[in-house]
A and B are shown apart, each in its own frame.
Chain A
């Protein structure tokens, strides 16, 4: 329950902080931190335009996409405090439920019969497929290290160990951060602010969405950021009592948002053709974590 509320609060600010960071770096004042939330509320009040090509898939897809991210949010714990849903292997469920959302967002893009949206759909399908192994191997190595199989148990016991765990935690932070960037279609993979349909991934998929549906998709995006931020927080909090961890949660979420803003300000998007290699390289970082875990457990000897 705790994680649920915290993630909701973090989600409200997260994207605003990213935008603010980017504005400051580019020498602008920038919109208020809550502007993204206001945008969404405005969208929720609007009517919608639908393409005549679309079918029922286009109508249900945004709701399912939102629901999938929402379900993923319920699974995420907060240190020793369970998420609303917790069971052995919940991280498998976490990845697969996000896949459900992706499946629907891809087919809803195909539903419009547009050439641009197919392009985005094709890239999204390929990149998310390539990013998934990294997550599974990361969770596998954490499971191996802690001897547990659910998010909450893994994160609660992760902390008790040698200092190498911190090194691994930093690598893991990198992997999760990058997965978050891929899942949310942010900078090194995709440029959300680009103005050419041919070079977009996520943005081009939702070209035909408007009104309430677009609001749902944007909200899901904000939540997704906060969910991955919460996963990163979880790598560090362990069994520390909540008086300390709640401020820590917000500080880390803030830092992650600032980091994303900084990356976006100073980096250019990769060439589309090179994205796949970059994403798959994440898997090798995860493998590195796995071998680190083997080292700690002394399995090599």
Chain B
């Protein structure tokens, strides 16, 4: 109990301290508060993952009533992910922000919002009072907004921030609607009443669930609610992008999982709905990611893809719950939960390395980069690990969670109906395509940014970031490899969270070791590593005395400087772009070379999100043109505005009076 009070008070006290200390002190305070809060919350989280669950009641106020704080293993899992990503992100951020030392006021605000963001995210995992939940959610959304718009002197950043702010309020609107509906009926804000509210009424349960699903889907970036994400990520500083992709969008996943547990709708139906949305998100996310030439925007679209993979896991888990197929439930939810962690790891690592690239070169446009491996070998190495992991390729962690989901899908084959079979085939198809496209995308990103020759000369020296800045990155990379090599350790931790969904707490029920040969996977990974080392050392041994010559790259006999003839990102994806044309929206501006004495020619292409155009831009344009019809009202003449004002005041006064008279008149008519 005391711990919880400390948890609330501590960040507040230190947040007030921050403006009064120097820049270095701010950093120390932030990391200290994050560490202490992480320790406090991890204590509960670890215990809850070991099977203990906690329930506290905070007094609350007259309006909110008692505030129940319930920590179960699901909250525990998410709290641990949040803490890990925040600690590494904060540590990385300390060094990343050094370049912005002079903007004292912005840094204070940034530091305060950062602390608040951390505490609110953890609180959201445990608070089970809908009113307080909404308030905390709002604080979280606002503090996230503040940390995103750190570079607010750039108009693009502010625009992205406002976009985020609006969309996150649409999200809150949905959540508010859902919570109020349940609360009015039950006359209490406790989450438990949501279960009571929906029990025994399938229609109501599904509608309520869908309302919450849309709300949380906006936060987590499911297509078609994803449009804020590709703007917000590139606008934010690197450590914030990493945290945002790593945990902030995951709080939406947490919300969906919590609602699955609370509302008990027709699981099969919602399973299919979630699966469909997720398959679309996964495919669409990665399809858009490939054509992006801003490194961070590319990564942002990959977040949408990975949310899709997590969603596929949740979807098949729900279908398993609906049909009583415990293996499917376990594999689906275990895959989803593990992928939540995995994505948090490799995506934050990717964003941090992208941050390093930005720090060194001051650009994120892939087409201007190249050859960074020579200047920044460590960043290159870390990016490579994360890129392999995110493509779901063994021996790293991305493979393990995708393997679980694949196994779920394949094991479902044996007792599925026709409809289910077709769903399985298309889900497998989607998952395979997502994997292949992710590989295409990351070979492009890695190959163009880090390999080859520099495509542009910079006026400043491009050099590796400091070793301290790389430490948190190595820590993340370590976990990426560790989960890949010892997946069974992490799956054992997942026993309790998954049992919330299956309802089985039997120690003998271990589908991870029977259906999924997770131990064999880990052994096979070791064999793989051994084989690689063996082959490589044989190579070293045999070639040690052989002559090694270094020459230019083969260019069909051309030996001049060939940096301009290198393959570019745009040309790398050209075959893909042609093939997937119907799903993409690409604008080209070009001037061809014409005539005997041609003058300058140019070619330029940029892409735009097709769904954003259809679902956001077009309706807004229609709305604007509708409102444009009334633009005569806004004629800039003061007299008119005064008239409007008077009309409004009169209307406010008169309408109730008229209404009353009208009412009396009706009553009078009735009496006749």
Give min CB distance, B148 to chain A, whole Å: 32
Could you tell me if B388 and A103 are in contact, using CB atoms closer than 8 angstroms? yes
Binds A, one of B19-27, B266-274, B519-527, B597-605: B519-527
Which one of A55, A60, A212, A213 has the greatest number of beta carbons of chain B within 10 Å?
A55
With the chains together, A27 CA to B368 CA distance in Å?
52
Contact assessment for A144 and B451 in the assembled complex, using a CB-CB cutoff below 8 Å: no
* Contact yes or no, B453 A140, CB < 8 A: no
* A-contacting 9-mer, from B222-230, B539-547, B606-614, B656-664: B539-547
Stretch at the interface among A30-38, A105-113, A161-169: A105-113
How many A-B Cβ pairs are below 8 Å? 254
A-side contacts of B548, CB under 8 Å: 47-50
Decide yes or no whether A133 CB sits under 8 A from chain B: yes
A107 and B575 contact, CB distance less than 8 A: no
| Contact yes or no, B447 A96, CB < 8 A | no
Task: Tell me if A25 is interfacial: C-beta within 8 Å of chain B.
Answer: no
Question: Could you say which of B117-125, B129-137, B292-300, B427-435 contacts chain A?
Answer: B427-435
A208 touches B531 (CB 8 A): no
Q: Is A4 an interface residue (CB 8 A)?
A: no
List of B residues within 8 angstroms of A60 by Cβ = 536
Q: Is A255 an interface residue (CB 8 A)?
A: no
State which of B138-146, B205-213, B463-471, B552-560 sits at the interface with chain A.
B552-560
Complex contact B407–A122 (CB within 8 A):
no
CA distance A114 to B405 in the complex (A): 38
A48-B546 contact given A122-B575, A126-B576, CB 8 Å threshold? yes
- CB–CB A144/B524 < 8 A: no
Contacts of A67 in B (CB 8 A): 528, 531-532, 535
One of B96-104, B336-344, B500-508, B563-571 contacting the partner: B563-571
Chain B residues lying within 8 Å of A202, measured Cβ to Cβ, are none
Contact with A along B399-428 (1 / 0, CB 8 A): 100010011001101100110010011001
Are A113 and B553 interface neighbours, CB within 8 A? yes
Q: Which of A68, A99, A118, A216 contacts B567 (CB 8 A)?
A: A118
Chain A residue nearest to B441 (CB atoms) is A125
A87 within 8 A of B: yes
Residues in chain A within 8 A of chain B (CB atoms)? 44, 46-57, 60, 62-64, 66-68, 70-71, 74, 85-89, 92-93, 95-97, 99-100, 102-103, 106-107, 109-119, 121-123, 125-126, 128-130, 132-133, 136-137, 140, 143-144, 147, 149, 197, 207-208, 211-213, 216, 272-273, 276, 283, 287, 290, 294, 299-300
Give 20 A-B contacts (CB < 8 Å), ordered by A residue. A48-B546, A49-B549, A49-B551, A52-B551, A52-B553, A53-B371, A54-B553, A56-B373, A88-B407, A89-B403, A89-B410, A89-B517, A95-B432, A100-B394, A110-B447, A114-B566, A115-B562, A118-B571, A121-B567, A213-B539
Report B's interface with A, CB cutoff 8 A: 370-371, 373-374, 377, 380, 384, 388, 391-394, 399, 403, 406-407, 410-411, 413-414, 417-418, 421, 424-425, 428-429, 432-433, 435-437, 439-440, 442-444, 446-448, 451-453, 515-517, 520-521, 524, 527-528, 531-532, 535-536, 539, 542-543, 546-556, 562-563, 565-567, 571-576, 578-579
Identify the 3 closest CB pairs spanning chains A and B, nearest first. Answer: A118-B567, A129-B436, A110-B447
